[in-house]
Amino acid sequence: MSDDICPHVVSAGSYLLEMLSPEETAEFRQHSRHCLHCQREIVALMPGALFLQELRADILAANRRLCAERPVLSTVAAREPWWGPACQA
């Protein structure tokens, strides 16, 4: 038993934020079933990932509804580079 961290833990964040391709998602899900490192990473990242997902949904919803107005989450949106251009399209 080695203490080396599994190289796949870096995928946990992307997996939780659904930023992986369908193939990568299936692969990581399969892998994490048997990997304690990745399971631990998922548990550690879960609260933040859920928060970010809600935030993203809020921003996207605000983007659709209030495109001409200032976003409600302007302080957060200002740090997200992908927020602006969609609105100007």
CB of 12 to Zn ion, least distance (A): 8
Burial of 15: CB neighbours in 10 Å, binned 0-12, 13-18, 19+: buried
Cα–Cα distance measured from residue 48 to residue 77, given in angstroms and rounded to the nearest whole number: 17
CB of 46 to Zn ion, least distance (A): 16
Q: Which of residues 4-23 bind Zn ion (CB under 5 A)?
A: 6, 8
Q: Which of residues 30-59 bind Zn ion (CB under 5 A)?
A: 35, 37-38
Name the site residues for Zn ion (rule: CB under 5 A).
6, 8, 35, 37-38
